[in-house]
């Protein structure tokens, strides 16, 4: 599962600039995700930008002082039309067909930051080849693959309860019924997998229905009360068991520690919202290798590491923890 965040997109777009045609005059974004790329390029290159409708109507999107007022589009000799990604090529082909009908005098180039292997033919320029399956931070919760995913609830679809709200009683029930969503997916989720207790199914299902969150299955913990669940301490293991026994291809988890447990027990891709990274086999191998090397280092010179801990225990714990992140 290839993953790209907003941070990746910004860096990859900036690296792409050196391969773009010279003397560009205008950047055109293909709505919606292409507008992310057009904004980045417009800022980096200090060029005006618009969308496809703006190109047809001869108007720019709101810009800084340099481009205030009317703009003569016939003065642009080179125009770059961009999207974030090309997979089947349908959207890029549609954009090309539409723009061909504008009878522009400028040379029009087409590009995308990420293209699938074999989709290079649909563009004139691209930043990277990125194989499918892939997921982006900006469309993760609105992509059709969610039907083949397991999704955490608290921390993903709504915030976590505060300690005061999490009383396993009336305050918690009020939280379940009144908490605002932080994300409402526009597509159906395969499995919502939550550590909420089964006894709160009615409140949870009613809240999901109220906010229009569609799903195939709601999986909840079977413990009788919060104290028993906390004593068991197996949140990540429970989610890993559900994920492993399903056909789901991705688990979207809010807690990084639970995400690591799920990934290590299933060796299937897990997205950690807390760390904004995709945990998969390469990451797991690196964590295991770093852990083994650290243990061997301590064994080889235990007095040195004991002295480091005594001199600054906080710094020692931070550096030791970083090995396993």
What is d(CA 2, CA 132) in angstroms, rounded to the nearest whole number?
7
Identity of the highest mean pLDDT range in 132-141, 164-173, 276-285: 164-173
- Are the C-beta atoms of residues 323 and 289 closer than 8 Å to each other? no
Q: Is the peptide bond before 133 cis (omega within 30 degrees of 0)?
A: yes
Q: What tokens were used for 145?
A: 């693959």
**pTM to 2 decimals?**
0.82
pLDDT at 308: 74
Residue 171 CB coordination number (10 Å)? 14
What is d(CA 208, CA 197) in angstroms, rounded to the nearest whole number?
15
- Are the C-beta atoms of residues 195 and 236 closer than 8 Å to each other? no
Helix (H) or strand (E) holding 2: strand 2-4
Q: Which SS3 state, helix, strand or coil, does residue 247 take?
A: coil
Cα dihedral 221, 223, 228, 232 sign: negative
pLDDT in tens, 8-53: 999 999 999 999 999 999 999 999 999 999 999 999 999 999 999 9
pLDDT band at 245 (very low <50, low <70, confident <90, very high): very high
Most distant pair of Cα atoms in the chain: their distance? 77
pLDDT higher than threshold 80 for residue 297 = no
What is d(CA 270, CA 256) in angstroms, rounded to the nearest whole number?
10
């Amino acid at each position: 599962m290839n993953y790209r965040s907003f941070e990746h997109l910004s860096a990859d777009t900036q690296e792409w600039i050196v391969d773009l045609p010279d003397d560009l005059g205008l950047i055109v974004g293909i709505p919606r995700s292409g507008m992310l790329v057009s904004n980045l390029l417009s800022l980096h290159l200090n060029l005006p930008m618009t969308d496809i409708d703006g190109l047809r109507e001869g108007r720019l999107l709101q810009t800084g002082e340099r481009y205030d007022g009317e703009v003569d589009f016939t003065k642009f000799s080179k125009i770059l039309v961009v999207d974030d990604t090309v997979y089947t090529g349908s959207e890029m082909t549609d954009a090309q067909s539409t723009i061909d009908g504008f009878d522009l005098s400028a040379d029009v180039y087409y590009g995308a930051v990420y293209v699938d292997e074999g989709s290079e033919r649909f563009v004139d320029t691209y930043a990277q080849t990125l194989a499918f399956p892939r997921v982006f931070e900006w469309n993760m919760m609105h992509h059709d693959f969610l039907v083949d995913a397991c999704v955490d609830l608290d921390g993903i679809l709504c915030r976590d309860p505060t300690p005061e709200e999490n009383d396993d009683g009336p305050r918690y029930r009020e939280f379940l019924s009144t908490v605002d969503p932080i994300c409402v997916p526009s597509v159906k989720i395969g499995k919502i997998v939550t550590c909420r207790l089964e006894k709160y199914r009615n409140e949870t299902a009613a809240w999901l229905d109220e906010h229009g969150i569609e799903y195939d299955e709601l999986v909840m913990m079977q413990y009788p009360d919060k104290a028993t669940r906390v004593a068991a301490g197996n949140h990540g293991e429970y989610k890993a068991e559900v994920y492993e026994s399903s056909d789901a291809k991705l688990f979207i988890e809010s807690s990084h520690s639970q995400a690591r447990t799920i990934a290590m027990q299933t060796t299937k891709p897990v997205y950690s919202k807390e760390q904004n990274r995709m945990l998969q086999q390469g990451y797991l191998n690196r964590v295991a290798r770093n852990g083994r090397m650290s243990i061997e280092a301590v064994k080889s010179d235990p007095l040195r590491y004991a002295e480091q801990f005594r001199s600054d225990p906080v710094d020692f714990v931070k550096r030791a923890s970083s090995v396993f992140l």
